[in-house]
A and B are shown apart, each in its own frame.
Chain A
């Protein structure tokens, strides 16, 4: 049933409800737009709705924002763009490979190997830190490498205990998004500062923030792309295998082009996440690589809520995403698989 088949009163009410909902969702956006053109007096002096009738629009908020009086607008915008695009691209690329592997190959990880990893990682860190007197970051690195090596070696033996399969691995990935990000943000900040002491500056650098975003986007990317890859007809890949096409070429030459709509959708979701992310940006940057959400929040200054400049900054943060979504959604058309199989 669709709205088109409705008749008479039913049709009228359905349309009215839809229009009401449209107004309800569009009004905040409209309010932000007109607020950004109001003068400070116009904002605090009670609600006004229609430009030129209710109030005289001014460009004060915009000129303040663009001239840099309200924070380094241009560098922030550029930082957001670079970090957003590259983190979304890298996360989609790496996550797709992981997702493809999880769909097409069978993994068997013994639970005991995972336990060995955890025990060695924690135990090794404590050992290095408290008994051998090694620095924090160095102990972390040693413990991690030892744990990884031992768990990989141990997985070669037929250890007793349950065996984890692909679904368990995917669940493990997704489970990383279940705890509150603030838990990780603190730990990450500490780790980054320790790394900084070793000479690898990560706080307030491009790589520091990008790494964090890639790590936190991967679970979602893997989860989404796994479903897209699982829906692909395996015969197409088998045909290529029989035709002696190398695996990497099957992935890049056949699988990725076939899942283009999925890749773009995933890229878009990741980009939206990274673009709007606030917490990590707050912890891991301070000036040079600050992103737009920090700038918007920064408009809420000591002088009180300056809604006019918050509105202008918020619009600047919204518009690029609207444009991106508009451009990419045209590429997201379905039906790309048409003709591959019956």
Chain B
């Protein structure tokens, strides 16, 4: 019998394995380096305040109530804008997903208007609705509307045709096919669309507030920049980032409970 040579192992690698501590270490190291650079005077505090200064600014803003005032002002625009845009977008998008005629009518218009950066419409909306809240809410609603339409009707398309055939073959009335097969089947796509529309809403609220508002995080950040209060400016940016994280965490929780079957 000849010599037995073991087969060399050459698998493994590339498969993602969880590394729970690594992200925190990276975070800590980056912030530590930043703080060290600021403390040693390498970073001029006027252009790049230290993490400690930003935390201090955040704390002060929290204590004197201005933080909540601005966050509340922004939320009062985001929430109604997002709800109006989402409701209208779902109505139109689902109609386009269900009825061929609605799709034929709606698709060209939606495709034509979707690429317009909605902030460009703010001046027109101010002209129509005035400088107050309605024009900002309308900008957000418009910005949310189009991606919602597109995600809703593509979500309807993604429901396997065979499930609909199955419903027809068991004699389900059209209404039941929509409520029991099409809508639940489209739910993952619709909820994924919410993530996109929520980030659009956040973007637009900041932009709209920078153009014309006394309060709101966008206005606050802009004013802080004009006054060279960079610690406050970056504190505002941190608040925006936290807001975005909270929204995406909330949507994730909704997805997990609605889509438990996945």
B is a partner of A: no
